[in-house]
Structure 1
Amino acid sequence: MAWKGSGLTQQEFADRIGIEKSTFNNYIIGKRVPKTTTLLRLNTIFHVRPGWMLTGKGSMYEEGPKGDDRFFFVPLMESRVTAGPEGELLCEEISDEYPFQQWWIQKLVGKDPQRQKALCLVRVRGDSMIPTINPNETILVDTSENERSQIRPGKIYLVRQPDGGVSVKRLVLNEKPGRPSLISMSDNPSFQPFEIELEGDKGVTYYVLGRVRWVGKEID
């Protein structure tokens, strides 16, 4: 059973996938069949194959190194994201931790422990990025220096706004001589693009807090 390898209690595991403990127990003893939404959460959070959940046949986990069922716990930030003076994401306010399979984390960011520790989860507020990211969905953000300093045109980032707020946007770096800026774009057509000028000591890494890598699915 996937929860046995997670290091979580049954209650904690049930909480992670958004169901009651009694419902989870019924899954274990075969009294109930998981709903599609539950299968999706098991797949996206723990990488458990839906086919295995329904039939008990084949491999429990999605393809990965044989026998590697280790988990890496990623912190979930409190509802209000805070940025430090150098643009770093302040992760002191942690509300919870969520397990991801270690092999998948390594596939995403490599084996460097410091790079892995730069990952955090943030719950999205607002609808500026629908349909790609919906309100109240949780995103996985890579806050490493490499991702903050090298803007990949059109990719999705966690961005500090000039007014101090934090939002999720697609970015393009405008390297116009003497007037560099970040072009900030939403996926929701109701929101217009806007420009963030990079002035003085407020460079790219002051505004860019990290790149979004996952929101129920991997994001390139």
Structure 2
Amino acid sequence: MMKNDLENKELIGKCDDSEERDKTSFSYADKRMEWVVASEVAGHGGFPTSDRWTRDHLKALATDKPHLSRKRKGTKAFEYHVSLLPAETQQSLLGGYIIEEPASRYEQNVLPIGQVDFLAEFALIPGYSIQVSAGNGSLNIEQLEPSRYLAFRRKWLKFRGFAEKDLVIVWAKGDSMEPTINNNDTLVVHTSRNHPQDGHIYIFRHENELFVKRYQSIVGAWRLISDNSMYTPLDIKKEEQHQFEVIGQVVHIAKDIGD
């Protein structure tokens, strides 16, 4: 056989993008693992045969459902729960079966058994024992455990255009933002909105201090405004702005009325 013929045969079946394929999960008896990688899904139920396209599409599907993706142990690949996939893709992969979406870790820990239907209507947003406006605190979510969860209707989140994964809850301290925000009010913070826009309220961090202010852009500076007129606006010059971190925009305020 000619050398060129051998080389041509070796090329047959290789992916167009020449990427290394993710290690696939395994099956045993009639039970298949519920977590799959892109190379397993490619070519099933309407998915093209490209691993790269499938990998990107799976990542997009999991954007609002972070508990349905994770790193596969012992590899660099990400795997995804099959409930993310359309019904026809699941049936193709699982021999006609459909698997429902599992609850996230904190939903499993918080909700009593038998209330899974609750999760179809409500999302549980993590709350952290942090007070903002005056005083010390930290909002490094990766190093903190939620102290509680508050339920918000999924329809409301969708109407507002909010992704569940972007929201956290903290509590207000002090009177600098009265009457808009009162002491101990509950603040829902959108952590992906960290490029301040005029007129909106944001949580800022300077060193160990967290505070909530209304933002205004002026020539050469940020102006951080307290809604309470007893407090003077704070102007942050351009050369000082690197010392301040925008944690996120306050997108919802919950208040107690009366004792």
What TM-score comes out, normalization by structure 2 length?
A: 0.46
Q: Which runs of 4+ in 1 moved over 4 A?
A: none
CA distance 1:77–1:83, change in 2 (3 Å): closer
- Please identify the structure whose Cα radius of gyration is greater: 2
- Alpha carbons 1:185, 1:192 under 8 Å: kept: yes
In the alignment, the residues of structure 1 paired with residue 188 and residue 145 of structure 2 have an alpha-carbon distance, to the nearest angstrom, of 16
How far apart are 1:109 and its partner, in Å?
2.6
Unaligned runs of 5+ in 2: 1-109, 113-118, 132-136
Secondary structure of the residue that 1:207 maps to in structure 2? strand
Aligned to 1:124: 172
Quick one: higher RCO (CA 8 Å, sep 6+), 1 or 2?
Answer: 1
Question: Is 2:207 the counterpart of 1:207?
Answer: no
State whether residues 77 and 91 of structure 1, in contact with CA within 8 Å, keep that contact through their aligned partners in structure 2. Answer: no
Aligned counterparts of 1:124 and 1:138: Cα–Cα separation in 2: 7
1:91/1:216 CA distance change after superposition, 3 Å = farther
2:150 is matched with which residue: 98, 118, 121?
98
| Paired residues of 2:202 and 2:246 also in contact (CA < 8 A) | yes
Could you tell me how far apart the structure 2 residues matched to 1:91 and 1:198 are? 30
* Letter of the 2:150 counterpart: Y
Counterparts of 1:24-103 in structure 2, within 5 Å, are 70-79=121-130, 81-83=137-139, 92-103=144-155
- What 5-or-longer segments of structure 1 have no aligned partner? 1-6, 10-67
CA distance in 1, matches of 2:194, 2:154: 23
CA drift of 1:188 comes to 0.5
On the 8 A contact 1:82/1:90 being kept in 2, the answer is no
Q: Distance in 2 between matches of 1:75 and 1:159?
A: 19
Question: What is the CA-CA distance between 1:76 and the residue it aligns to?
Answer: 0.6
Count of residue pairs the alignment pairs up: 135
Match of 1:20 in 2: none
1:78–1:93 CA contact under 8 A, matched in 2: no
